[in-house]
Amino acid sequence: MVNGEVKQLPRVFNSEEELVEFLKEVVNKALKDPDYASKFNGNDKVILTVDLKKLGIRKDGIDVVEFVFLKEKGGNSYYLKTAYPKAGSAVAKYVSTIGRWVS
C-alpha cells in the first residue's frame, strides 16, 4: 500500500539472489566506464545514474538504475547505501502534480 493505494508492483526478479547478481553486474560494468568512474572524485556522496543500454545490459522493465554511494568517515572507501530502478516500463513513479502513480 502506497499513499492509501494498493499497488501491484511488476515482478522483474525471481529472487533476491538474482537481484544481487544484476546489481553487481551493473556496478562492475559502470565502474569500468570513465564517465561513471569519474564521479568518485572525493565527494562524501556519489550518485550514479546508470543507463543500462549504454553498458550493453538488458533487463525487461528497467532502463536506468540509480546507485547512491557514501564515503566512509575518515577513509577513502565508498560503500553502497542504496540502489533502485529509476526508469523503465516496470518502474512506477509518483507524480505529485497529478497526485497519482504512473508507470
> Average of pLDDT values for 63-87?
91
In the structure grid, which three cell numbers stand for residue 81, read together?
547505501
Q: State phi, psi for 38 to the nearest 5 degrees.
A: -70, -15
Q: State phi, psi for 88 to the nearest 5 degrees.
A: 145, 165
- Judged against a pLDDT cut of 90, whether residue 52 lies above it is answered with yes
- Judged against a pLDDT cut of 90, whether residue 74 lies above it is answered with no
